[in-house]
Amino acid sequence: MRKELLINENWLFIKDTADITRRDGEEISLPHSWNAIDGQDGGNDYFRGTCCYLKQLEQLPEADRYFLEIQGTNSSADVYLDGKHLAHHDGGYSTWRVDITEELGVNSLLVIKIDNSPNEIVYPQMADFTFYGGLYRDVNLICVNESHFDLDYYGGPGIKVTPVVDGKNANVEVEVFLSNAKAGQTVRYTITDREGNVVSVNETADTKLATVIENVHLWHGRKDPYLYSVKAELISGDEVIDTVSTRFGCRSYEIDPERGFILNGEEYPLRGVSRHQDRWGFGNALLPEHHEEDVELICEMGCTTIRLAHYQHDQYFYDLCDEKGLVIWAEIPYISNHMANGRANTISQM
């Protein structure tokens, strides 16, 4: 069965170096940005260069495969395990993963080298915000069976939900992505309502399920942010060998030049703000309580919508918006992994 280990503690941070053999650093915990102070003092002279993060991987659970999940590094990064280069990633805001199974040993040393200096690879080149450097979101180690819901599929969760409202019902398509699937394995799809009551259960060898939620309870913004959940279980024989889940809302929307934004057939005024992911003294290395406070303040203002500037934000923030009923506007070049989940409240714009 899948195990996800949060490995935010006990890192060694070494500033201004590309030398992965150095050990003269500062002990830190994640999330972390090296521009938490100089990136906010108004001097426009904040450090942009290469730094290294080191961690010893110890006492890991038994599994067939091990994936390193990095939820945010800005802006280019390289992963090394026991000195061997395993992966390179360009892009400062999306989740990415590395299969470290073949090189993982006892007490292996993990090094993540990150560079936020200007380059011609990662966009934007210029912007009205700081290009914070750092390992600024959570890092997980995901331990799975050889057959598992795909962890290499564009950094997504391995499951996608697409609900379409049809009268009083909702037609729901659930698609999963598998890695190393074997003959005879099946997927069990379970949909539950907000109270945990089972709406439907289906077991099939197909990676797509089409089902109907009758008399569907609609997600209706701040008035009624109702969410369903779907769990997919990969089954081999009588054993569940992997599980993924996500929440989703059912709604319809349109934009009318005369009536404005229409949610579930009703006029729904959009009043909101634009949000960046930073905080004084932390840079962009936000803690859960910072995301929570931001959402509470936005709701306290009476907002019904939020525009995310200008990149993928933390998945935790999207989840909070789902729960509170905030309609999210996301720019197409920067749509996050959140969109892959078929979420209720994400509207894209050019």
In order, the DSSP letters of 320-332 are: HHHHHTPEEEEEG
Which of 311, 309, 318, 310 has the alpha carbon at shortest distance from 338? 318
Helix, strand, coil content of the chain in percent (nearest 5) = 10, 45, 45
What DSSP line would sit under 245-274, residue for residue? Answer: EEEE----EEEETTTEEEETTEE----EEE
- Per-residue confidence (pLDDT) for residue 310, from 0 to 100: 87
Number of other CB atoms surrounding residue 133 within 10 Å: 29
Q: Mean pLDDT in the chain? A: 93
- The answer to whether residues 230 and 245 touch, using CB atoms and an 8 Å cutoff, is yes
Residues 10 and 167: their CA atoms lie apart, in Å, by 53
**If you search the block for the tokens 């990136």, which residue do you land on?**
39
- Per-residue confidence (pLDDT) for residue 313, from 0 to 100: 95
* Sign of torsion over alpha carbons 25, 30, 35, 37: negative
Give the pLDDT of the chain (350 residues) as one tens digit per residue.
Answer: 999 999 999 999 999 999 999 999 999 999 999 999 999 988 889 999 999 999 999 999 999 999 999 999 999 999 999 999 999 999 999 999 999 999 999 999 999 999 999 988 888 878 889 999 999 999 999 999 999 999 999 899 999 999 999 999 999 999 999 999 999 999 999 999 999 999 999 999 999 999 999 999 999 999 999 999 999 999 999 999 999 999 999 999 999 999 999 999 999 999 999 999 999 999 999 999 999 999 999 999 999 999 998 889 999 999 999 999 999 987 654 444 444 444 445 554 43
User: Around 112, how many Cα atoms within 13 Å sit in the side-chain half-sphere?
Assistant: 30
- The answer to whether residues 272 and 302 touch, using CB atoms and an 8 Å cutoff, is no
Q: At what angle do helices 288-300 and 315-324 cross, to 10 degrees?
A: 30
Residues 44 and 126: their CA atoms lie apart, in Å, by 13
